[in-house]
Amino acid sequence: MKEEHTITRGMVMLLATAAGLIVANLYYAQPLVGPISRATGLDPGAAGVIVTLTQIGYCLGLLFIVPLGDLLENRKLIVTLLLATALSLVAAASTSSALLFLAAAFAIGLTAVAAQVLVPIAAHMSSPERRGQTVGTVMSGLLLGIMLARPVSSLVADALGWHAIFVISAVLTALLALVLSKRLPLRQPHGTMRYGELLRSMWHLLATTPILRRRAAYQACTFGAFSLFWTTTPLILSSPKFGLSQTGIAIFALVGVAGAIASPIAGRRADQGKSRSTTAMALAAAMLAFAVPLLVTGSRELELGLLVAAAVVLDMGVSANLVVGQRAIFTLGAEVRSRLNGLYIAIFFLGGALGSSLGAWMFSNYGWQGVMLTGLLFPAAAFILYLTEFTEQRAIA
């Protein structure tokens, strides 16, 4: 389909807001697994499966639903997914059955991939010279959703109970579906593939697209570090070392949101042909976020301040690297953007899952120093891979 390059600032902000609201649904349950497990009768030892099922649903949606953006009319696909998300949130809020809640958590993850159908639309509607900046702004909204979801969920649950966040989000998601049904332009891809052929083509794209593999590897490492950090930081902040309350931890998470400002800046630099240097700065920022707290010790106030700075710097590195990667893969052709985006996000979410599980295990067995060292290894591995760009003839900018 011919790209129309007519996106307005208002539409960019709408897409950014929508992406953030949608993806936040993946994270609302994470700080609430305790009260949810008690209310539904779920065994405390199995409470972590709530988060796991949501993530599994999201990854399956990335691989089996997002590619439909290259086949089906995009606006209808997005609105349908949002309505399904709203129904799933209502189910999660209203059930007292552990089995039904787990099914709802899986469905929330599966249908929240509407956010990743939206992002390629921003690329479709943008001119090539502004595509990075536009995608960066939309992705900053998505990252804000990820970063704000946990503290907002905790604060709402403290005030109104854990059901309230799911009810509020269900209403917002349904309203968002209505707004997007009126505001989004029609986009009917001209693909002629059947669904089975579409899915098989994804493995061909992965095998024949070096830039996708490289950018996904960079982001898998940085998102792994991000997930490790935010999985374990509440544990150390609530420990006797810092003694923060849940509200204090929520405020800490809110401060980290400042890192999302890097997304549009990174996109603008990529539009100017500075993708390689921006990648280097993003990976260096991620390494610095772990190296400084690992090496510098002192008073409680100093170490807490270093952790706050680390949160902001890490979030800046992760968001900048994400946007540069997406801009790179979105230059490869409008007809494959949804599939490329689905693969890209799915791969780096696997890195995030690895980081989360390693972080909890390292904290339990080796303490905070072990967590920081493990976190440092993730972006360090990406940086070593990045250095090979200079030794390959087909270096990827």
Q: State the Cα–Cα distance between residues 257 and 272, nearest whole angstrom.
A: 26
272: number of Cβ within 10 Å: 12
Q: What pLDDT is attached to residue 51? A: 75
Q: State the Cα–Cα distance between residues 229 and 67, nearest whole angstrom.
A: 31
pLDDT of 339 strictly over 50: yes
Per-residue pLDDT tens for 142-162?
A: 888 988 898 898 889 888 999
Look at 90-94, 279-283, 303-307, 336-340 and tell me which has the smallest mean pLDDT. Answer: 336-340
On whether residue 396 sits in a domain, the answer given is no
On whether residue 115 sits in a domain, the answer given is yes
Q: What pLDDT is attached to residue 113? A: 95
Per-residue pLDDT tens for 209-224?
A: 999 999 999 999 999 9
| Domain count across the chain | 1
Over range 96-109, report the average pLDDT.
94
Could you give the angle at the alpha carbon of 211 between the alpha carbons of 278 and 264, nearest 5°?
35
On whether residue 1 sits in a domain, the answer given is no
CB 171 within 8 A of CB 93: no
On whether residue 198 sits in a domain, the answer given is yes
Q: What pLDDT is attached to residue 191? A: 67
CATH of the domain at 238: 1.20.1250.20
pLDDT of 392 strictly over 80: no
On whether residue 67 sits in a domain, the answer given is yes
Domain with 77, as residue range(s), is 9-389
**DSSP of 181-239:** HHHSPP--------HHHHHHHHHHHHHH-HHHHHHHHHHHHHHHHHHHHHHHHHHHHSS
On whether residue 397 sits in a domain, the answer given is no
- Residue 99: which pLDDT band, with cuts at 50, 70 and 90? very high
On whether residue 309 sits in a domain, the answer given is yes
Closest by CA position to 155, among listed 48, 240, 253, 85: 253
Over range 359-382, report the average pLDDT.
92
